[in-house]
Structure 1
């Protein structure tokens, strides 16, 4: 069992493998952590926050890479992160500067699989969602609407669910329960 130390960023959002998210980083200690990541001192893990917990996040996180950055109007740093690999957080320590370093173990990503049958509705709905939310679509060069795993993970990232409910789906061995959940959600709203 080979564990790895990673710099930890927590937010209320979810980032999964092949997903992209734009975040805002402010303050000297957070900027220092990003500098350490960019210098190769630590890989970066992104996790959903969990208030009043230690570490301050759910145990399943995503190792990610910084694929773009820019200075925002308020002098904060805007980062675009791309999820790469699911990781489990075993422990984390808060440094004196307030940043967290987590001890992680790589987990299996969900395997790619084609979307078939009635589940094509989920793919079409995601395509429509991105048309209505162009800022999210702009994060991606390509939409992999033919891949059930890619589509279901993007839905998990954008659906307005409680973090603990998203974690139930994220912790499944594959995308099937998420596909069923999203399909039922779409069908129930189509009937209204």
Structure 2
């Protein structure tokens, strides 16, 4: 596997492969980073902020593409990111303009697998969640409620949990622990 240098965009949010996230860009240095990414000058990785540590993010990030952008009424920029590939941050450095660049190594994405048995409840609950939160559903042209990996990752992106707890699940080799965790949460709220 080959390493790759990427610009790091860090926020207090989670973006995983096939996920989509809308991010507001205000600072001029980040506007320049977006321009560089769109010109093909560098790749972009989205990382979740970690309060303590260097770099100030978790060691696994998601290479992503900018799939849409809009200028907002306050002249800031809204970009929609789509997660592509999990990457491990090998090292990172902060540049003079305050942006971060990282050397990354691709990591395996969770494999697609069908949702079966009682885990269909997780998929149905995600569909209901999107009905209540249509602004999140609008980010997707297609949803894959039949795919356990896709559904698990979307739940991890939206669950109100501490990031350190999410990363215990994100760093697993597959979606099974996340499926179990989310199923237990749903059952606890139904009972």
TM-score (norm 2): 0.99
Within 2, Cα distance between the matches of 1:143 and 1:28? 34
Show the counterpart of 1:102: 102
1:65 equivalent in alignment to 2:65: yes
Show the counterpart of 1:163: 163
Runs of 4 or more consecutive aligned structure 1 residues displaced over 2 Å after TM superposition: none
Which digits, 9 at most, give the CA deviation of each residue in 1:6-54, with x for residues without a partner?
Answer: 0000011100000000000011111111111111111000010012321
- With 56-65 and 31-40 compared, the bigger mean Cα shift is at 31-40
Map 1:110-129; keep pairs closer than 5 Å: 110-129=110-129
1:178 equivalent in alignment to 2:166: no
Show the counterpart of 1:43: 43
1:92 equivalent in alignment to 2:64: no
| Superposition RMSD in Å | 0.7
Within 1, Cα distance between the matches of 2:70 and 2:164? 32
Within 1, Cα distance between the matches of 2:126 and 2:75? 33
Which digits, 9 at most, give the CA deviation of each residue in 1:104-149, with x for residues without a partner?
Answer: 0000000000000000000000000000000000001111000000
Within 2, Cα distance between the matches of 1:184 and 1:21? 26
What SS does structure 2 have at the residue aligned with 1:58? coil
TM-score (norm 1): 0.98
Within 1, Cα distance between the matches of 2:45 and 2:56? 13
Structure 2 runs not aligned, ≥5 long: none
Within 2, Cα distance between the matches of 1:66 and 1:137? 17
1:81 equivalent in alignment to 2:81: yes
